[in-house]
Amino acid sequence: MTQPTLSVHDLACVRGDRLLFKGMNFQVEAGELLLVQGGNGQGKTSLLRLLTGLSTPEAGEVCWRGDSIRRQQETYHREMMYLGHANGIKDDLNPVENLRFAAGLQGCAFDENQAIATLRNQGLSRCLDLPCRVLSFGQRRRVALSALLLAGALLWILDEPLTGLDIHAVALMEGLIRTHLAAGGLAVATTHQAFNLEGMPVRRLLVGNVAIPELA
């Protein structure tokens, strides 16, 4: 099997009438984090949606393991996990039920003990039976994170993962990403905030107006 690499060639993105960026090229290797930064409305989320395959680029292509993601949707979706602004958590279900469904989505068998253990590690032991509606934003984020962890995906695509989290949760998240990278995973994240990034191999990408030069 080829190396797990996320690469982007000559990518261009149009939203409505506006050209957000064009000629974008970069590569993310195993164990690396790509940090996407830029002002609001500049195309950070659009870029992430292009990477997941939810949106189609105006030009260029996104490749996983050297092959276009359009040609290997099933494989790519199995190895990639997306965490967007909205958590993707059903408010009417409790955390365990949400995780059960997330496992079903991946086509995997559900290990309830492992799920509960993960939720406990995230500090949600007292919330296991409650509908997610009554949880705080930060707690719901952590349920979504548990789903991310259980899926065991190689590539994490995270949109503003630190938003709405308190200091402890932020440290927890950074720790999780660090562990993921150390195990050979890849991650792409957008952020407004400061990430504590010592020890993590990080590339930065600035999304601004129109042409983006190659990453240094």
Partner 1 sequence: MAEPSMHRFLLAVLRRDLTLAARRRGDWLIAQFFFVMVASLFPLGVGPEPEMLARIGPGVLWVAATLASLLSLSRLFADDHRDGSLEHMVLSPEPTVLLVLGKSLAHWLIYGIPLLLIAPILGLQFNLTWAAILTLEISLLLGTPILSLLGSVGAALTLGLRGGGVLLTLLILPLYVPALIFGAGAVDGVMAGTGAEAHLSLLGAFLVLSLLISPWIAAAALRVSLE
Positions in the binding site for partner 1 (CB under 8 A) = 52-56, 73-75, 77-78, 80, 82, 84-93, 97, 100-109, 131
CB contact set of 193 (below 8 Å; sequence gap of 6+):
162, 163, 170
Is residue 106 within 8 Å of residue 151, measured between CB atoms?
A: yes
Q: Cβ 155 to partner 1, closest distance in Å?
A: 12
- Nearer to partner 1 among residue 74 and residue 214 (C-beta): 74
Q: From start to end of 6-154, where are the E strands?
A: 6-15, 18-28, 33-37, 59-64, 67-68, 80-83
Q: Cβ 64 to partner 1, closest distance in Å?
A: 13
Q: Cβ 44 to partner 1, closest distance in Å?
A: 16
- Nearer to partner 1 among residue 92 and residue 214 (C-beta): 92
**Which tokens in the block code for residue 149?**
């962890």
- Nearer to partner 1 among residue 109 and residue 194 (C-beta): 109
CA–CA separation, 185 and 154 (whole Å):
5
Q: Cβ 48 to partner 1, closest distance in Å?
A: 11
- Nearer to partner 1 among residue 70 and residue 168 (C-beta): 70
Token look-up 């409790």 returns: 94
- Nearer to partner 1 among residue 66 and residue 107 (C-beta): 107
Q: Cβ 98 to partner 1, closest distance in Å?
A: 9
Spatial CA neighbour of 145 closest among 61, 82, 53: 82
Q: Cβ 199 to partner 1, closest distance in Å?
A: 30
Spatial CA neighbour of 136 closest among 189, 186, 87: 87
Is residue 55 within 8 Å of residue 46, measured between CB atoms?
A: yes
- Nearer to partner 1 among residue 75 and residue 121 (C-beta): 75
CA–CA separation, 14 and 137 (whole Å):
31
